[in-house]
Structure 1
Amino acid sequence: MAYWIAGQIVDVSLDPATGTHLIWADVAYDLNYPEDLQSLVSCALNLDDWHESWGVSIETLKEEAIEAAEQLLSKLPPGEHGD
Structure 2
Amino acid sequence: MAYWIASQIADGSLHPATGTHLIWADIAYDLGYPEDLQHLVSCAINLDDWEESWGVSREELNREAVEAANQFLSRRRRHDDEH
Give TM-score scaled by structure 1 length.
0.92
Give 2:14's aligned residue: 14
Aligned-pair distance for 1:75? 1.4
Work out the percentage of aligned pairs sharing the same amino acid: 74
**Cα distance in structure 2, aligned partners of 1:52 and 1:13:** 26
Aligned-pair distance for 1:24? 0.1
**Cα distance in structure 1, aligned partners of 2:6 and 2:66:** 8
Structure 1, gaps ≥5 residues long: 79-83
Q: As a proportion of its length, which structure holds more helix?
A: 2
Give 2:2's aligned residue: 2
CA RMSD of aligned residues (A): 0.6
Aligned-pair distance for 1:8? 0.1
The residue correspondences of 1:4-83 to structure 2 (distance < 5 A) are: 4-76=4-76, 77-78=80-81
**Cα distance in structure 1, aligned partners of 2:57 and 2:21:** 18
Amino acid at match of 1:45: I
Structure 1 residue ranges, 4+ long, deviating more than 2 angstroms after superposition: none
Structure 2, gaps ≥5 residues long: none
Amino acid at match of 1:33: Y
Give TM-score scaled by structure 2 length.
0.92
Amino acid at match of 2:9: I
Aligned-pair distance for 1:5? 0.2
SS in 2 for 1:72: helix
Greater shift in the superposed pair: 68-77 or 28-37: 68-77
